[in-house]
Structure 1
Amino acid sequence: MEDMFTKPRFAGHQIVRSEDTVKHFDTLRQSARKHPVLITDHNQSDTVLLDYDQYKKLYQRLSELEQRYEASLIEFRINRIEKNPHRTTPWRQVKRTPDDHEPAL
């Protein structure tokens, strides 16, 4: 099965070493307004410098997708319960009461 997530691709001008960020931060900040900038540390991807508007869009989209996923998961579980009510256990049978004690280890 192919991995549905792929690594983002960065062009050479979008990659900078961490030791160069201090010297060129203003330039990098300006570049990040146009496209993400990958900061590496010891030749390993470390941090992405991103325009705030892009960040907000990503955050909003992620939140939206999480909400959709949670809603579909709840709908799936409700449908499963409705189709197989005999396979469920009522909450009152599994909930703890103040008299319940933790098992000794």
Structure 2
Amino acid sequence: MILAMSKPTFDVDQLVTSSDASKKFGELRRKAKELPQYITDNGTVDTVLIGYDLFEQIYDRLTRLEEEEEQRILLQRLERIERDPESAKSWKSVRRNTEA
């Protein structure tokens, strides 16, 4: 079972203005390896800087969830066709309708 992720939270130590971020980018990169850093523009979070390890974790999870969703959709379609074989469409007819 995959649990839903909650919306990220952050504290004031993780906020940095865009002008400070440009001046202290090396320091910001080091901090981002431990905790995401939130770059603000006019007081609003505009960009999030994260370490590569966290990026890989997020990317892997997203890829896995997309694959699971595609599999779920395909299984639903197969079940629908098994219940009602007449509802099946040939690939040629589907392709012809999407090329128009």
TM-score after normalising by structure 1: 0.76
TM-score after normalising by structure 2: 0.80
RMSD: 2.1
Determine which structure has more spread, i.e. the larger CA radius of gyration.
1
**2:55, 2:39 → 1: CA distance?**
16
Please name the residue that 2:21 is paired with: 21
**1:34, 1:94 → 2: CA distance?**
48
**Structure 1: 5+ residue runs without aligned partners?**
97-101
**Structure 2: 5+ residue runs without aligned partners?**
none
Please name the residue that 2:75 is paired with: 75
Q: Any idea what SS the aligned residue of 1:46 has?
A: strand
Deviation string, structure 1 residues 16-59 (Cα, Å, up to 9, x no partner): 11111111111111110110001111122211110101101110
Matched, 1:32 2:24: no
Percent of aligned positions that are identical: 38
The offset of 1:88, in angstroms, is: 3.2
